[in-house]
Structure 1
Amino acid sequence: MTSEVGEIMEKLKEKKTEYEAIASTDSSVNLENIDNRIIIEVLSPESVTPTQYFGSGSKQYMPSGSQAQAEVQGLRDQIAQMQASTVEQIAEVQLRAEAVEREAAAAAMAVKQSRKYDEVQLQL
């Protein structure tokens, strides 16, 4: 595992702990799909704080039915974009990790061949 992947995993664990702490004190917080929310937050270039995401209890409002539907659709669109972006970012990280693994394997092979060459030279 590369250090970048390790850092991302650590951030994911920290955020999950943070969200669970908020949920334990605020019964209105819905933890459904929390893992997806955390992944989006950690991998998003503009991270959102839990308070920004869940909102505060003092600023509640009731939109009309059509406003609520439009807002829900907008949020669904945002989620779809974030999920697509997250999938792309994960794929990029995996590709980088695979490239590093290939480079390490090639370097190990070169060292092995160099040692064999040196052994043959010593025998001559």
Structure 2
Amino acid sequence: MLRYQWEDAVRFWNSKKGEDSERVGISSRQKQKFTHTAGSRSFASVAEAEEVKSGQKVGRLQLFEITHRKKDGSPMTSEAGEIMEKLKDKKAEYEATASTDSSVNLENIDNRIITEVLGPERYSRVRFQGSGVTLTQYFGSGSQQYMPSGSQAKAEVQRLRDQMAQMQANTVE
């Protein structure tokens, strides 16, 4: 950094505008729900390193686990721990459903679980895929690859209706 650049930076930091900018940054960081442990490495490079190490493709759920745990294995924050639990529970639920119901498609299960737990993707970017990966690049040109098909949705509705009927029958008895 050149001397005049440093002097300009110090002048900005000490100005009203610089102090306001600092307050906004502090406030934004405090509102973050969970932080990751990837540091300056992109999620894509973390996934690639894990794939080389394990010899298997790393899914989005597994990448979340890798990047949101400390070195000792504990979650970065309590919120990250809660999200990990929800993700595990949903995955177990889908796998149990798939074992009893052949109409459930496990192909895009990770994507569906992430959407259900964390909400839809925002700003046309795909979570846990590195910077710049768009929905179209990851899922293809149609959003139908991202959302369950009509038959899958109908099967899910039928499964939930059956489950409700069974619960109502149990409460009547």
Q: Same-fold call, TM > 0.5?
A: no
TM-score after normalising by structure 2: 0.28
Q: Which has the higher contact order (CA 8 A, sep 6+)?
A: 1
Task: Report which of the two structures shows the higher radius of gyration computed on alpha carbons.
Answer: 1
